Copies of this chain bind each other. A is one copy, B any other.
Amino acid sequence: MTAIEAAIPELKALPLFKDYSSEQMLRITQGGSIQFSNHRDLLFSQGNPADYFGIVISGAYKLSKISPIGEDVIVHFSTPGDVLAAFIMAMPNPRFPISAKAMGPSRFLKIPKTTYIEAWLKHPELIFKIQNLLSTRMNLLQDQKALTKAPLSAKVALLLVKLIEKQPEDSANIVPIPLTRKEIAESLGASVESVIRIMSEWSKSGLVSTNDQQIQVLRADKLVELFCPIE
Protein backbone atom coordinates (compact mmCIF):
# COMPACT_ATOMS: atom_id res chain seq x y z
CA MET A 1 0.00 0.00 0.00
CA THR A 2 2.69 2.42 0.98
CA ALA A 3 4.30 1.82 -2.36
CA ILE A 4 1.18 2.94 -4.14
CA GLU A 5 0.73 5.96 -1.94
CA ALA A 6 4.28 6.94 -2.72
CA ALA A 7 3.60 6.60 -6.42
CA ILE A 8 0.42 8.63 -6.43
CA PRO A 9 2.03 11.93 -7.42
CA GLU A 10 3.63 10.17 -10.36
CA LEU A 11 0.34 8.54 -11.28
CA LYS A 12 -1.48 11.85 -11.18
CA ALA A 13 0.93 13.12 -13.79
CA LEU A 14 -0.43 10.62 -16.31
CA PRO A 15 -3.20 11.90 -18.59
CA LEU A 16 -5.37 9.01 -17.44
CA PHE A 17 -5.43 10.17 -13.83
CA LYS A 18 -5.18 13.88 -14.32
CA ASP A 19 -7.73 15.80 -12.20
CA TYR A 20 -8.17 13.11 -9.55
CA SER A 21 -7.77 13.81 -5.86
CA SER A 22 -5.52 11.62 -3.76
CA GLU A 23 -8.52 10.04 -2.04
CA GLN A 24 -10.04 9.18 -5.38
CA MET A 25 -6.75 7.71 -6.47
CA LEU A 26 -6.76 5.45 -3.44
CA ARG A 27 -10.21 4.20 -4.31
CA ILE A 28 -9.29 3.65 -7.93
CA THR A 29 -6.13 1.73 -7.08
CA GLN A 30 -7.77 -0.21 -4.24
CA GLY A 31 -6.03 -3.53 -3.66
CA GLY A 32 -3.45 -2.82 -6.32
CA SER A 33 0.30 -3.22 -6.20
CA ILE A 34 3.33 -1.98 -8.04
CA GLN A 35 5.32 -4.45 -10.06
CA PHE A 36 8.97 -3.72 -10.71
CA SER A 37 10.44 -5.33 -13.79
CA ASN A 38 13.97 -5.63 -15.05
CA HIS A 39 14.98 -5.83 -18.67
CA ARG A 40 13.41 -8.89 -20.30
CA ASP A 41 11.32 -9.81 -17.25
CA LEU A 42 7.98 -11.32 -18.07
CA LEU A 43 5.07 -9.33 -16.64
CA PHE A 44 2.43 -11.82 -17.68
CA SER A 45 2.26 -14.67 -20.09
CA GLN A 46 -0.09 -15.49 -22.95
CA GLY A 47 -2.70 -18.00 -21.84
CA ASN A 48 -2.37 -17.43 -18.11
CA PRO A 49 -5.51 -16.58 -16.13
CA ALA A 50 -5.97 -12.83 -15.90
CA ASP A 51 -7.43 -11.40 -12.72
CA TYR A 52 -5.82 -8.00 -12.94
CA PHE A 53 -5.30 -5.24 -15.43
CA GLY A 54 -3.08 -2.22 -15.02
CA ILE A 55 -1.15 0.78 -16.17
CA VAL A 56 2.45 1.21 -17.26
CA ILE A 57 4.07 3.72 -14.92
CA SER A 58 7.59 3.92 -16.27
CA GLY A 59 9.83 2.20 -18.77
CA ALA A 60 8.15 0.14 -21.47
CA TYR A 61 6.72 -3.29 -22.14
CA LYS A 62 6.44 -5.17 -25.40
CA LEU A 63 3.27 -7.17 -25.98
CA SER A 64 3.80 -10.27 -28.05
CA LYS A 65 2.07 -13.31 -29.38
CA ILE A 66 3.50 -16.64 -30.40
CA SER A 67 3.12 -17.22 -34.12
CA PRO A 68 2.40 -20.68 -35.56
CA ILE A 69 6.03 -20.93 -36.60
CA GLY A 70 6.94 -20.56 -32.96
CA GLU A 71 8.55 -17.16 -33.05
CA ASP A 72 7.33 -14.20 -31.05
CA VAL A 73 5.51 -11.49 -32.93
CA ILE A 74 5.39 -8.13 -31.21
CA VAL A 75 1.89 -6.73 -31.28
CA HIS A 76 2.39 -3.45 -29.48
CA PHE A 77 4.90 -1.35 -27.58
CA SER A 78 3.43 0.04 -24.38
CA THR A 79 4.79 3.23 -22.85
CA PRO A 80 3.90 5.02 -19.59
CA GLY A 81 0.20 5.77 -19.33
CA ASP A 82 -0.83 2.77 -21.41
CA VAL A 83 -3.52 0.48 -20.05
CA LEU A 84 -2.77 -3.22 -20.38
CA ALA A 85 -5.24 -6.10 -20.35
CA ALA A 86 -8.09 -3.61 -20.45
CA PHE A 87 -10.41 -6.08 -22.07
CA ILE A 88 -10.39 -8.74 -19.41
CA MET A 89 -12.95 -6.90 -17.32
CA ALA A 90 -15.95 -7.89 -19.31
CA MET A 91 -15.17 -11.61 -19.39
CA PRO A 92 -16.01 -14.27 -16.85
CA ASN A 93 -12.76 -16.28 -16.96
CA PRO A 94 -10.32 -14.19 -18.87
CA ARG A 95 -6.85 -15.24 -19.95
CA PHE A 96 -4.15 -12.96 -21.27
CA PRO A 97 -4.29 -13.08 -25.06
CA ILE A 98 -0.66 -11.97 -25.27
CA SER A 99 2.54 -11.88 -23.23
CA ALA A 100 4.11 -8.72 -21.81
CA LYS A 101 7.85 -8.39 -21.39
CA ALA A 102 9.77 -5.45 -19.96
CA MET A 103 12.15 -3.44 -22.14
CA GLY A 104 14.62 -2.07 -19.65
CA PRO A 105 13.72 -1.36 -16.02
CA SER A 106 10.00 -0.61 -15.79
CA ARG A 107 7.16 -0.31 -13.35
CA PHE A 108 3.57 -1.42 -13.68
CA LEU A 109 0.56 -0.70 -11.51
CA LYS A 110 -1.49 -3.88 -11.09
CA ILE A 111 -5.15 -3.37 -10.26
CA PRO A 112 -7.51 -6.22 -9.42
CA LYS A 113 -10.45 -6.75 -11.70
CA THR A 114 -12.87 -6.26 -8.81
CA THR A 115 -11.63 -2.73 -8.26
CA TYR A 116 -12.49 -1.90 -11.82
CA ILE A 117 -16.03 -3.04 -11.28
CA GLU A 118 -16.39 -1.24 -7.98
CA ALA A 119 -14.60 2.01 -8.67
CA TRP A 120 -13.82 2.57 -12.35
CA LEU A 121 -17.27 1.96 -13.75
CA LYS A 122 -18.59 4.85 -11.71
CA HIS A 123 -16.36 7.30 -13.54
CA PRO A 124 -17.50 7.81 -17.12
CA GLU A 125 -14.37 9.87 -17.84
CA LEU A 126 -12.22 6.90 -16.92
CA ILE A 127 -14.17 4.67 -19.26
CA PHE A 128 -13.78 7.25 -21.98
CA LYS A 129 -10.06 7.58 -21.45
CA ILE A 130 -9.57 3.84 -21.58
CA GLN A 131 -11.64 3.70 -24.73
CA ASN A 132 -9.47 6.40 -26.21
CA LEU A 133 -6.31 4.47 -25.43
CA LEU A 134 -7.77 1.34 -26.96
CA SER A 135 -8.97 3.29 -29.92
CA THR A 136 -5.46 4.58 -30.54
CA ARG A 137 -4.09 1.08 -30.37
CA MET A 138 -6.75 -0.30 -32.67
CA ASN A 139 -6.14 2.48 -35.16
CA LEU A 140 -2.45 1.75 -35.13
CA LEU A 141 -3.11 -1.91 -35.84
CA GLN A 142 -5.42 -0.93 -38.66
CA ASP A 143 -2.94 1.53 -40.09
CA GLN A 144 -0.30 -1.16 -40.07
CA LYS A 145 -2.68 -3.57 -41.72
CA ALA A 146 -3.32 -1.03 -44.45
CA LEU A 147 0.41 -1.11 -45.20
CA THR A 148 0.73 -4.85 -45.74
CA LYS A 149 1.31 -4.45 -49.45
CA ALA A 150 3.55 -1.44 -49.06
CA PRO A 151 7.34 -1.93 -49.06
CA LEU A 152 9.02 -2.74 -45.78
CA SER A 153 10.56 0.72 -45.57
CA ALA A 154 7.07 2.21 -45.31
CA LYS A 155 6.27 -0.02 -42.38
CA VAL A 156 9.42 0.86 -40.49
CA ALA A 157 8.80 4.53 -41.16
CA LEU A 158 5.24 4.32 -39.83
CA LEU A 159 6.39 2.55 -36.70
CA LEU A 160 9.02 5.14 -35.89
CA VAL A 161 6.81 8.10 -36.66
CA LYS A 162 3.98 6.75 -34.50
CA LEU A 163 6.41 6.24 -31.64
CA ILE A 164 7.75 9.76 -31.72
CA GLU A 165 4.25 11.20 -32.16
CA LYS A 166 3.41 10.19 -28.62
CA GLN A 167 6.22 12.34 -27.31
CA PRO A 168 5.98 15.99 -26.39
CA GLU A 169 7.03 18.45 -29.08
CA ASP A 170 10.35 19.39 -27.58
CA SER A 171 11.77 15.88 -27.34
CA ALA A 172 14.00 16.16 -30.39
CA ASN A 173 12.19 13.27 -32.06
CA ILE A 174 13.89 10.64 -30.00
CA VAL A 175 12.10 7.31 -29.91
CA PRO A 176 10.98 6.94 -26.28
CA ILE A 177 11.96 3.30 -25.91
CA PRO A 178 15.24 1.45 -26.45
CA LEU A 179 14.44 -0.46 -29.64
CA THR A 180 16.67 -3.09 -31.17
CA ARG A 181 16.47 -3.84 -34.89
CA LYS A 182 15.35 -7.29 -33.93
CA GLU A 183 12.38 -5.89 -32.05
CA ILE A 184 11.45 -3.69 -34.97
CA ALA A 185 11.60 -6.75 -37.20
CA GLU A 186 9.53 -8.85 -34.83
CA SER A 187 6.96 -6.12 -34.65
CA LEU A 188 6.65 -5.83 -38.42
CA GLY A 189 6.88 -9.49 -39.33
CA ALA A 190 10.13 -8.91 -41.16
CA SER A 191 13.66 -10.23 -40.83
CA VAL A 192 16.33 -8.43 -38.82
CA GLU A 193 18.59 -8.20 -41.83
CA SER A 194 16.02 -6.39 -43.94
CA VAL A 195 15.34 -3.88 -41.19
CA ILE A 196 19.05 -3.28 -40.79
CA ARG A 197 19.55 -2.73 -44.50
CA ILE A 198 16.77 -0.16 -44.58
CA MET A 199 17.84 1.69 -41.48
CA SER A 200 21.52 1.88 -42.32
CA GLU A 201 20.48 3.41 -45.64
CA TRP A 202 18.64 6.03 -43.60
CA SER A 203 21.57 6.58 -41.30
CA LYS A 204 23.84 7.23 -44.27
CA SER A 205 21.43 9.73 -45.78
CA GLY A 206 20.92 11.44 -42.45
CA LEU A 207 17.24 10.61 -41.89
CA VAL A 208 17.84 8.92 -38.56
CA SER A 209 20.71 8.36 -36.19
CA THR A 210 21.27 5.65 -33.64
CA ASN A 211 23.50 5.32 -30.65
CA ASP A 212 23.11 2.69 -28.04
CA GLN A 213 19.57 1.74 -29.05
CA GLN A 214 18.46 5.34 -28.87
CA ILE A 215 16.96 6.06 -32.23
CA GLN A 216 16.61 9.68 -33.21
CA VAL A 217 14.56 10.75 -36.20
CA LEU A 218 16.24 13.69 -37.89
CA ARG A 219 13.97 14.12 -40.89
CA ALA A 220 10.48 13.09 -39.83
CA ASP A 221 9.05 14.64 -42.99
CA LYS A 222 11.05 12.28 -45.19
CA LEU A 223 9.86 9.28 -43.21
CA VAL A 224 6.25 10.38 -43.46
CA GLU A 225 6.58 10.58 -47.23
CA LEU A 226 7.45 6.91 -47.27
CA PHE A 227 4.08 5.73 -46.01
CA CYS A 228 1.95 8.65 -47.09
CA PRO A 229 1.17 9.15 -50.75
CA ILE A 230 2.43 12.43 -52.14
CA GLU A 231 0.35 13.08 -55.24
> B residues within 8 A CB of A127?
90, 121, 127
* Interface assignment of A114: CB less than 8 Å from any CB of chain B: no
Most chain B beta-carbon neighbours within 10 Å: one of A117, A128, A144 = A128
- CA–CA, A146 to B142, complex, Å? 14
Instruction: Find the B residue at minimum CB distance from A74.
Output: B145
- CA–CA, A78 to B121, complex, Å? 27
Q: Which of A69-101 contact B (CB under 8 A)?
A: 69-71, 73, 75, 86-87, 89-91, 97-98
Chain A 19-62 against B: per-residue CB contact (8 Å), 1 yes, 0 no? Answer: 00000000000000000000000000000000000000000000
Chain A 122-153 against B: per-residue CB contact (8 Å), 1 yes, 0 no? Answer: 00100111011011011101111111111000
- CA–CA, A131 to B133, complex, Å? 13
Q: Which of A144-197 contact B (CB under 8 A)?
A: 144-150, 154, 188-190
The answer on a CB contact under 8 Å between A91 and B139 is: no
- CA–CA, A177 to B189, complex, Å? 29
> B residues within 8 A CB of A7?
none
Given contacts A147-B67, A149-B71, contact A134 B129 (CB under 8 A): no
The answer on a CB contact under 8 Å between B150 and A87 is: no
- CA–CA, A97 to B134, complex, Å? 14
- CA–CA, A70 to B146, complex, Å? 10
Q: How far is the CB of A24 from chain B (nearest CB, A)?
A: 18
Checking B73, B145, B154 against A146 with a beta-carbon cut-off of 8 angstroms, the contacting residue is B73
The answer on a CB contact under 8 Å between B132 and A73 is: no
> B residues within 8 A CB of A141?
138, 141-142, 145
The answer on a CB contact under 8 Å between A189 and B68 is: no
The answer on a CB contact under 8 Å between A154 and B229 is: no
The answer on a CB contact under 8 Å between A90 and B138 is: no
The answer on a CB contact under 8 Å between A189 and B134 is: no
* Interface assignment of A12: CB less than 8 Å from any CB of chain B: no
* Interface assignment of A198: CB less than 8 Å from any CB of chain B: no
